Amino acid sequence: MTILGAIEAGGTKFVCGIGDEQGHIHDRVSFATTTPEETMRQVIQYFERKDVQAIGLGSFGPIDPIVGSPTYGHITSTPKPHWARYNLIGKLQEHFDVPMKFDTDVNGAALGEYTWGAARGLGSCLYITVGTGIGAGAVVGGSLLQGLSHPEMGHILVRRHPEDAYQGHCPYHNDCLEGLAAGPAIEARWEQSGSDLPEDHPAWSMEAFYLAQALMSYILILSPQKIIMGGGVMKQSHLMPEIRKHVKQLLNGYVQHPSLLDHMDKYIVAPNLGDDAGLSGALALAKQLL
């Protein structure tokens, strides 16, 4: 059996695991993301004597995933303390002489859902996570979307809700999508965690208003065959129907496709892989190396 290593490098926690080419995860461990030295020491200790044949790494960003770039394998301009300009792949290569594939955690999750999850059998999909931050990755024509670097769809600009006076949480753009709709923005605006807000709180209509605008843009630009929404904020089950409703209203029949006109409940969906989407995505990255 081929043994693959998978790393979901999150801003809050790292999840490491081993699995196989069929997407089965056989073992895992998680620990808090602290300093690079402490966190990577735990990663290296986990994979010692695991005899993995390839490693896939999906990381929080921004990162440099472009092979051949001088900073390939690095986390780049992240505001997370201690991690800016850190060479993740270089550190792993000091200890493991196996092929490695590096991308964003959301690109990895998109690939995982495309390979084994909600978008299996389709030609394209988009995965968006709404949690501590907002990020999205996409598979287009069977390949992960890259260009100058990787997509940063969480930082697009959206129209302000007419009743929203909150300045925004993003340290770079203030009121971009992430600055207005990520978990910390919800908490700062309403002075309590989203998990403590009742279903009929105005926060959720506002949240759907912002996220639907983003999905409309993604649909018009990328035309994905499936949109998958994960992350802590999306665990509010009442939010998904609101988002679908707003997306349909915003599109207003402009794109004439049954998925958007009649089957929105099957088009914008939760991850089939659940909380394993990120780790399975890293496993899918490793699989691509074989």
Please name the amino acid found at residue 77: S
For 139-152, give one letter per residue: b (16+ CB within 10 A) or e. Answer: bbeeebbbeebbbb
* Whole-angstrom distance, CA of residue 269 vs CA of residue 248: 14
Does 235 lie in the same domain as 214? Answer: yes
Task: Report if residue 52 sits inside a domain.
Answer: yes
CA atoms within 13 A on the CB side of 66: 13
Within 13 A of 125's CA, how many CA atoms are on the CB side? Answer: 30
In angstroms, rounded to a whole number, what is the distance separating the alpha carbons of residues 114 and 271?
A: 10
Q: Do residues 133 and 260 both lie within one domain?
A: yes
Is 113 inside a domain boundary?
no
Q: Evaluate whether residue 205 is within a structural domain.
A: yes
Q: Are residues 204 and 172 located together in one domain of the fold?
A: yes
Please tell me the predicted confidence (pLDDT) of residue 1. 79
Q: Kindly state whether residue 92 falls inside one of the protein's structural domains.
A: yes
Shared domain for 130 and 72, answered yes or no, is no
Note if the bond before 79 is cis, omega within 30 degrees.
Answer: no
Residue 24: per-residue pLDDT: 96
- The pLDDT of residue 183 is 96
Six-digit token string for 160: 């302000």
- Angstrom distance (rounded) from CA 167 to CA 179: 8
Please give the structure tokens belonging to residue 110: 């998109």
Number of domains in the chain: 2
Give the whole-angstrom CA distance, residue 153 versus residue 84: 20
Same domain as 263, residue 140 = yes
DSSP notation for 130-195: ESSSEEEEEEETTEE--SSS---GGG-B-PPPTT------BTTTBSBHHHHHSHHHHHHHHTS-GG
In sequence order, what E strands does the chain have? 4-9, 13-19, 25-32, 54-59, 100-104, 124-130, 134-140, 143-144, 227-230, 268-269
Which region, left, alpha or beta, applies to residue 186 given φ > 0 means left and ψ of -120 to 50 means alpha? Answer: alpha
DSSP 63: B
Q: Read off the CATH number of the domain in which 16 is found.
A: 3.30.420.40
DSSP 15: E
Regarding whether 247 and 175 lie in a shared domain, the answer is: yes
Asked if residue 114 belongs to a domain, the reply is no
Same domain assignment for residues 206 and 279: no
Please give the DSSP secondary-structure letter assigned to residue 235: G
pLDDT of residue 149: 81
| pLDDT block averages, 10 residues each, the chain of length 290 | 94 95 96 96 96 96 93 90 95 97 95 97 97 94 87 95 96 95 97 95 98 98 97 95 97 96 97 93 94
**pLDDT at position 11, please?**
87
* pLDDT at residue 197, as a whole number: 97
174 and 98 both lie in a single domain: no
pLDDT of residue 61: 87
- Is residue 63 domain-shared with residue 151, that is, in the same domain? no
* Domain range enclosing 159: 120-270
Strand partners, 111: none
Same domain, 147 and 77: no
Q: Are residues 136 and 210 in the same domain?
A: yes
Q: What is the DSSP letter of 89?
A: H
Task: Note the pLDDT of residue 151.
Answer: 85
Tell whether 203 and 88 lie within a shared domain: no
| pLDDT attached to residue 209 | 98
Q: What is the pTM of this model?
A: 0.94
